[in-house]
Structure 1
Amino acid sequence: MPNRLAGSSSPYLRQHADNPVDWQPWGDAAFARARAEDRPIFLSIGYATCHWCHVMAHESFEDPAVAALMNDAFVNIKVDREERPDVDQVYMTVCQLLTGSGGWPLTILMTPDRRPFFAATYIPRDSRHGRAGMLELVPRVQELWRTDRATLLDSAHQVVSHLEAVAGRPRAGALPAGLAERAFHQLAASFDAAHAGFGDRPKFPSPHNLMFLLQHWSRTGATEALDMATATLRAMRRGGIWDHVGYGFHRYSTDRQWLVPHFEKMLYDQAMHALVYTEAFQATGEEEFARTAREIAAYVMRDMEAADGGFHSAEDADSEGEEGVFYLWTEGEIRSLLDAPLAELAIAAWGVTRDGNYHDESTGRRTGANILHLRESARDAAAHLGLDPAGFDERLESARAALFAVRGRRERPLRDDKVLADWNGLMAAALARVGRVLGERPALDAARRAAERVHRTLRSPGGALLHHAGAEAVPGFLDDHAFLTWAWLELYDATLEPECLARALDLQQETLDRFWDTTGGGFFFTAHDSEPLLVRDKEFHDGAIPSGNSVAMTNLVRLARLTGRADLAARAEAVAAAAARDLQAAPAAHCHLLAAVQMAAGPSLEIVIAGDAADPATQRLLAAARSRYLPAAVLLLIPEGEPGRTVRALAPFTERHESIGGRPAAYLCRDFACRLPTTDPEELRRLIDEAAPPRPTATG
């Protein structure tokens, strides 16, 4: 008989609806039951595409013996971390404080009033290697609750006190000089010169760190920063972390070589990769980067877009009960599917061998299965095979298409179909940039559909932004507001439609009203009227994706430059000041925030073009303004008629920026001091080069 998760809108919770564990969703009813029955709470947090969450579920939560123990000892609560990132964030901090590490599945034992006294990640069914299993742990905790509860309560008190001390620690201060340079040197010290990327293994892509390096090169001319970024982007694109058959990036690499991935695909990873590959193309003109961004967009629109707009959250690593099997190929399969010459080319290009390069997780033995990857660049591979690069690409594409058709008949990994405001905002921002920079109109249209869906459907009856709608609507968090604002800014940059700028400003004001810390500066993760948790968190650290504060500060700087509003610039400076001690302690852990700090420090570059958007002369000026990689610049269009009056109302400093003699005109401004206008696109290019001299390109 299904438990209380059966009616959930979360695919992760529904995965556990038929467990013999008497799961309940997070909510007042579960906590009231724990108090009434005087039982501790077993809190399990995970997500639908989490491999080790599946392992623990199969071993323990589907096991009648374990379930009987859990049901007797605890009130059991399941949380989808993607639906409730606020709950996950608080209790993940607890796990890190208690164990020194974290991850999912996250297991918390706590009192009925939500105070934790034990934390772990994956727990096996049976005890092994000195780690207590569920069959041993649950009875032990139940006995302690009955006979030595004071010890558990004292532990809970200490945990909460420590958590409150961490959340309330002083963090604000004056920003010291040289933080960006320190972050650059920290990244350089951990750079893997042999395989690219940073550190040893596992390797996480962290695209925002690469974006920081690109922008650091643009600002300083340090070619080492550009070389590290571009080498890493090439290595990832050619490695097994990239899906060479269906496109898109897997979560991370388990090895140094970028060969063996953890196979799940997350929407936010696709967004961040699309952003950085597009930015790398802008910086270098390297076609491999543009192609990768286009193919990410193609994958997301093909496999992740919902029928009514917006994007689903993730695809699982597992299918047919095994991780990665959907993506693996044997040499025999490839030879049976392709004609002999094409099979030889595919096998050579993708590094396929008879023994395979994929190892069984339990035995460590090679299985004969292969993760497709490119051992070298397409140009070098073509030369080794005696082909010209164009011919090589054409033939490899034929092989890819054939494998893709066959793979479509395999059992697909689970797709988590939640539509989340924050990740959709991030994806819309990325697709809008792909559309603008690479001229990909379908990507731009998909970006607009996603932003419009969130704007239209993820709203409470009172009009507040929601994180997720469904059976359990979840109020919006900082990331939802910040990432959707980013989307509207990128859509404005791509379309120059005044409505997009107006929506970005409106949402930024809503963010300030609901999340701003009036005492310490910066933004809380939860709104002023959100459900109270143990602490109210304020996150500056850039993790798998940039923090809400990092993105919000970037938005504030861009909006201040676009509108000339000093109050927005002051709020941006206050975010940086609020994070000063965190930035000083670990600059490289805050790369996106540091990029915003650098942008705020200036010099700024504002390009204002006055003219009819449909006029070819206006389009030529716009093309000139967009011809360079200028990450710190903003572009504003003052169209004719009512749309122009709308823009002037949003950006009063443009009141006197007008066309000249009926001809579209461009105004180049640095820190809001404008040069004389020009109607000549080549003159505009010259002025831009003078204001922001081009940098030397990569040496690698």
Structure 2
Amino acid sequence: MRKNAQLMKKTVFFILFTIAALSCKQKSDEVTHKHTNALIHETSPYLLQHAHNPVNWEAWYPDVLERAQKEDKLLLISIGYAACHWCHVMEKECFEDEQVAEIMNEHFINIKIDREERPDVDQIYMDAIQMISGQGGWPLNIVALPDGRPFWGATYVPKDNWIKSLEQLAELYQKDKPRVTQYASDLANGLQAINLVENDRDSELYSLEQLDAAMHNWTQYFDTFLGGHKRAPKFMMPNNWDFLLHYATTTDKPDIMEFVDTTLTRMAYGGVYDHVGGGFSRYAVDVKWHVPHFEKMLYDNGQLTSLYAKAYAATKNELYKDVVAETIAFVKEALMDQSGGFYSSLDADSLDENGKLEEGAYYVWTKEELTRLLGDDLEMFQTYFNINSYGHWEEENYVLIRDKPDEEIAEKFNITVPELKTKINECLTILKKERNKRPKPRLDDKILTSWNGLMLKGLVDAYRYLDNEDYLDLALKNASFIEREMIKTDGSLYRNHKEGKSNINAFLDDYATVIDAYFSLYEVTFDEKWLDLAKNLLDYSKKHFFDSASGMFFYTSDKDQSLIRRTIEVDDNVISSSNSIMAINLYKFHKLYPNEAYGTMSTQMLKNVQKDFGRRAQGFANWLHLVLFQNQNFYEIAILGGNCQSMGQQISKAYIPNSILVGSQKDGNLELLKNRGASDKTLVYVCIEGACKLPVTKAEEALKQL
């Protein structure tokens, strides 16, 4: 009994102690965070950054929009992303301010949106602000009617102007609602009109002569000395250089090839490339690719991995091979989740030595630091990376930039190129070790399907053209992650994933990029599992995204909430448009499944957008691959036999953009693989629209037929 009493006392004491501890923790949390809003329940790091603002932020959900209409309260929609510098500035100046929050909470229902999670909403309101003001950017702030129709917008706004604007807008809505409603209706009609795509059934397909003329117009913008376009800031635009590489090699245009080579070399030499840790920043603010906007995005690095791998296959330039290897190493180290998915980005800002958030603080160097760290190798390093007026950024800081090839610097220091590279790599290793001691940039650790699709394609291309098995292992791990975590039981996709949670239905770019990546993975593995998954996703897209009236694909599924419009995305920007990727997917699947309507759909999509190619080819760069596919021979390469894998590897190392590759150890299910096998040898068939040349038994013989 006495033992039981003592045990009871201990138990009661433990319970009381636990309650007290929890109470203290709760009070501590309340002190740490004076305010908490509905964003605390989200998984997006960008939304969570705002979860303790005094503003009563909510995420974009149907019930929030319904409540706005019931209460007849204006929507204040603020859109940004985790790596956005000016988003952080406006948060600090406005959204953390209690005076500002009081006005916002009184007059508006405030919605925060991560543009990377909800590009469907972002597209519409970005078009709106460009119609209102002629320019756009992030943070993107929109005031809309309770039903979501916008009537006012701005990007970054300082506190005093923000307060004044919001007070005037609230007053205007109260005193002159009909005028506001009419303006919003007119703007909504305009948003519908600019998104219309005509179903052009009468025009002839774009010809090579027309393409050459369009290319002539485009070349007027080339910066032939520093690469890229004649402007600042300079964006990497992977789809531009990817198409120009394709065009230059298949139409024998050495001047275009020289421009591509200049561009890729200058980008790799520039400060926009992280020489210490690998990987590319977002863009350069100047004309020489020197000072970047320091945020690092998965989608840039995935696409650039593909681009440099293809360029290496076409040129055998070792610089391009190094860029691929270092970029993949960066992504693996900084952006890879243990599950096999890839995170979204690293912030541009990080804490400097004074504990203040500064853009680029993690990446820049002072001459004093370099002198202390590099000792006797400083002179060579300074020459190599321009620790001089050419490489100086601001204050005491330098951003590493190259402007001379290894051979020229090796000659100056009277050493061999291998000796130079060894010395420089030793210096970079020292700098990386030192940099790792600095506070790291903030990580956006949400996983987005479309960006993972782009990175998966990059890994597949790196394996294909550089023949490194590690890249295939990474690709298979990521492909399995997408299959396991992002594909639902009904065959649809999720858009987002974090810590085991996914809650947003995928958009067209998610489907298009994963289909492309899975198809490419099939080409290097001949594992029909990936081809079947790709085809299932393609057929799902046809059923739920295709618009028979325009012959194009909507950005959103017919299963999703209806917005002001269902966007049709056709312009190729920093990422290729979802419709252009889908049109190329359809074209390739037509080669394997000729009895389905894939080819007809692809051709019609191309016809619908080709009228704009001559005026602005660079804005349709990914579409232009289809012009070459339609006007030149496009090869289906079929390999059958016990040695199909090895033969496939030999052939796929060659840069042949106008081809697809299929293979099997014995007669397969695809039309191209039926009744063509031989029991005692491996045969390669080079085919055009299913009509094949005589089979050969060696890779080099097959390549000659191309």
**Global fold match (TM > 0.5):** yes
> Does structure 2 retain, via aligned residues, the 8 Å contact 1:667–1:677?
yes
- Deviations 1:267-286 (CA, angstroms, capped at 9, x unpaired): 00001111110111111111
1:695 is aligned to none
Which whole-Å CA distance do the structure 1 matches of 2:56 and 2:615 have between them?
A: 44
2:610 is aligned to 580
- Deviations 1:107-166 (CA, angstroms, capped at 9, x unpaired): 10001010100011111213xxxxxx1121111112112212222112101101111222
Which whole-Å CA distance do the structure 2 matches of 1:336 and 1:232 have between them?
A: 34
1:530 is aligned to 560
2:343 corresponds to 1:343: no
Which of 436, 460, 476 is the aligned partner of 1:408? 436
3-state SS of 2:113 partner = strand
How far is 1:335 from its partner?
1.2
1:633 is aligned to 659
- Deviations 1:22-43 (CA, angstroms, capped at 9, x unpaired): 1111112322332333321110
Which residues in structure 2 correspond to 1:10-409 (within 5 Å)? 10-126=44-160, 133-168=161-196, 170=198, 172-173=200-201, 174=203, 175-177=205-207, 178-320=209-351, 321-338=357-374, 340-353=375-388, 357-359=392-394, 367-409=395-437
> Does structure 2 retain, via aligned residues, the 8 Å contact 1:46–1:104?
yes
> Does structure 2 retain, via aligned residues, the 8 Å contact 1:95–1:119?
yes
Which whole-Å CA distance do the structure 2 matches of 1:33 and 1:57 have between them?
A: 25
1:598 is aligned to 628
3-state SS of 1:475 partner = coil
> Does structure 1 retain, via aligned residues, the 8 Å contact 2:313–2:655?
yes
2:51 maps to amino acid: A
> Does structure 2 retain, via aligned residues, the 8 Å contact 1:187–1:198?
no
> Does structure 2 retain, via aligned residues, the 8 Å contact 1:49–1:314?
yes
2:698 corresponds to 1:672: no
Which whole-Å CA distance do the structure 1 matches of 2:66 and 2:544 have between them?
A: 29
Which whole-Å CA distance do the structure 1 matches of 2:76 and 2:607 have between them?
A: 39
Change in Cα spacing, 1:674 to 1:389, as seen in structure 2 (3 Å) is same
> Does structure 1 retain, via aligned residues, the 8 Å contact 2:266–2:289?
yes
1:475 is aligned to 505
3-state SS of 2:447 partner = coil
How far is 1:9 from its partner?
0.6
Which residues in structure 2 correspond to 1:502-651 (within 5 Å)? 502-565=532-595, 567-583=597-613, 585-612=615-642, 615=643, 618=644, 621-640=647-666, 644=667, 648-649=668-669, 651=670
How far is 1:179 from its partner?
4.3
Which whole-Å CA distance do the structure 2 matches of 1:329 and 1:136 have between them?
A: 42
How far is 1:447 from its partner?
1.5
Which whole-Å CA distance do the structure 2 matches of 1:356 and 1:594 have between them?
A: 37
1:344 maps to amino acid: E
> Does structure 2 retain, via aligned residues, the 8 Å contact 1:4–1:23?
yes
Could you tell me which runs of 5 or more consecutive residues in structure 2 were left unpaired when the two chains were aligned: 1-34, 352-356
Which whole-Å CA distance do the structure 1 matches of 2:408 and 2:315 have between them?
A: 20
- Deviations 1:362-394 (CA, angstroms, capped at 9, x unpaired): xxxxx1011111121222222222221111110
How far is 1:401 from its partner?
0.6
How far is 1:623 from its partner?
4.7
Which whole-Å CA distance do the structure 2 matches of 1:525 and 1:609 have between them?
A: 36
Which whole-Å CA distance do the structure 2 matches of 1:267 and 1:585 have between them?
A: 31
2:480 corresponds to 1:452: yes
> Does structure 1 retain, via aligned residues, the 8 Å contact 2:464–2:652?
no
3-state SS of 2:40 partner = coil
How far is 1:104 from its partner?
0.8
1:656 is aligned to 675
How far is 1:580 from its partner?
3.3
How far is 1:489 from its partner?
1.2
2:462 corresponds to 1:428: no
* Moved segments of 4+, more than 6 Å: none
Change in Cα spacing, 1:355 to 1:687, as seen in structure 2 (3 Å) is closer
Which whole-Å CA distance do the structure 2 matches of 1:354 and 1:373 have between them?
A: 11
Which whole-Å CA distance do the structure 2 matches of 1:244 and 1:24 have between them?
A: 41
1:330 maps to amino acid: T
3-state SS of 1:327 partner = coil
1:487 maps to amino acid: A
> Does structure 2 retain, via aligned residues, the 8 Å contact 1:606–1:671?
yes
3-state SS of 2:41 partner = coil
> Does structure 2 retain, via aligned residues, the 8 Å contact 1:239–1:257?
yes
Could you tell me which runs of 5 or more consecutive residues in structure 1 were left unpaired when the two chains were aligned: 127-132, 360-366, 689-700
Which whole-Å CA distance do the structure 2 matches of 1:406 and 1:337 have between them?
A: 8
> Does structure 1 retain, via aligned residues, the 8 Å contact 2:342–2:452?
yes
- Deviations 1:636-679 (CA, angstroms, capped at 9, x unpaired): 11213xxx4xxx32x224322112x6111111223322111122
Which whole-Å CA distance do the structure 1 matches of 2:263 and 2:648 have between them?
A: 32
How far is 1:292 from its partner?
0.7
How far is 1:237 from its partner?
0.2
1:357 maps to amino acid: H
Which whole-Å CA distance do the structure 2 matches of 1:63 and 1:71 have between them?
A: 12
* Higher alpha-carbon deviation: 301-310 or 507-516: 507-516
How far is 1:514 from its partner?
1.4
> Does structure 1 retain, via aligned residues, the 8 Å contact 2:214–2:613?
no
> Does structure 2 retain, via aligned residues, the 8 Å contact 1:262–1:317?
yes
How far is 1:347 from its partner?
2.0
Change in Cα spacing, 1:332 to 1:558, as seen in structure 2 (3 Å) is same
Change in Cα spacing, 1:273 to 1:380, as seen in structure 2 (3 Å) is same
2:637 maps to amino acid: I
Which whole-Å CA distance do the structure 2 matches of 1:686 and 1:582 have between them?
A: 36
3-state SS of 2:38 partner = coil
1:47 maps to amino acid: Y
Q: Which has the larger radius of gyration?
A: 2
3-state SS of 1:393 partner = helix
Which whole-Å CA distance do the structure 2 matches of 1:347 and 1:653 have between them?
A: 57
How far is 1:624 from its partner?
4.6
1:363 is aligned to none
1:686 is aligned to 704
3-state SS of 1:190 partner = coil
1:622 maps to amino acid: G
Change in Cα spacing, 1:169 to 1:465, as seen in structure 2 (3 Å) is closer
Which of 467, 470, 474 is the aligned partner of 1:442? 470
Change in Cα spacing, 1:580 to 1:218, as seen in structure 2 (3 Å) is same
- Deviations 1:540-568 (CA, angstroms, capped at 9, x unpaired): 10011111111111111222224444522
* Higher alpha-carbon deviation: 571-580 or 6-15: 571-580
Change in Cα spacing, 1:282 to 1:43, as seen in structure 2 (3 Å) is same
3-state SS of 1:217 partner = helix
3-state SS of 2:159 partner = coil
> Does structure 1 retain, via aligned residues, the 8 Å contact 2:495–2:502?
no
Change in Cα spacing, 1:99 to 1:270, as seen in structure 2 (3 Å) is same
